[in-house]
Amino acid sequence: KTTNNISNDSNNFINGFFLILFIGIIISGLFIILLSQLSSYIIHTSLILAISITFISGIIIFTDGSILIGLIVIGLSIYLVTYYYQLKPYIAFATVNLKIACKALQELPSLFLTTAVVIGLQALFYLLWFLTVVGEATNESTSYIYSYGQSYSLSQCSTYTYTNTLTISNTTLTCAYTNCNACICSNSIIVYPSKPCYTPKLYYNVYALLLLSLLWTSSISSNIVNCTVSRSISKWWINNDINESATVWESLYISLTTSFGSICFGSLFVAILRTIRYMI
């Protein structure tokens, strides 16, 4: 029964992943079509919404009692109004650029497939990374529990989850929270009255290396897509009568061969900085 449940959970996860990926592709395509038709309206609406939300937030903060912060936020909204009027002469130029960019993406549909494949591989790596973290944390955990001079194998112990009270061998434990855990060994000995038997352990240096690998791989995959898209659109810009599929796959090939070393090296610096930021 447990095996069947695990199998069903795995199938549900895979089906859900591909469903989300498919929906994301559809929404992205629709958004590009919408952006190409209503780019000017979307730019104006985005700026007006930013001003409105900032002003309303300032009013709420002001009426809540934080007068100084509220005035600062309201002042920021007033600055955004002036910024909006300064940008208005340039919105037409931005609109034309957006329409051209959307047209390029519409005429290079293989870019969507390329991006979907890279995202799929990235998601599989995330799953592998998660399993690696769990495995590493499990391997570093102790196999024995020591309490009051006694040693218990982890296989002899169980974690009990309770909400109100738990009675073991004439001893009653009371839960002061929504859910509580207790570690019981040999079916009758309370080893930990307020925590589970098993706690995964992940050392700081191992966590740093695992985090670096995650961020590095994520940055590499993102930059592969960026380089592929940039090269494809630049060739389309020069000559829009190109072979769409051949152009995209040639750009992807160059990203994975000639430019791959530069992508990995540059992504490594970004990943190191992001790792340091997260660790600090």
Closest CA to 153 of 133, 183, 182: 183
In the prediction, which pLDDT does 6 show?
Answer: 42
Between 9 and 169, whose confidence is greater?
169
pLDDT at 255 over 60: yes
pLDDT tens per residue, range 48-76: 999 999 999 999 998 888 889 989 999 99
Token readout for 164 is 């109100």
The DSSP output letter for 143 is S
In the prediction, which pLDDT does 231 show?
Answer: 92
pLDDT tens per residue, range 6-32: 445 556 666 776 777 778 778 877 887
Token readout for 266 is 């540059």
Say whether 165 sits in a helix, a strand or coil: strand
Q: CA-CA distance, 128 to 120, in Å (whole number)? A: 13
Q: CA-CA distance, 101 to 234, in Å (whole number)? A: 11
Buried-exposed string 203-241: b where 16+ CB fall within 10 A, e elsewhere: eeeebeebbbebbbbbbbbbbbbebbbebbbebbeeeee
157 forms beta bridges with 185
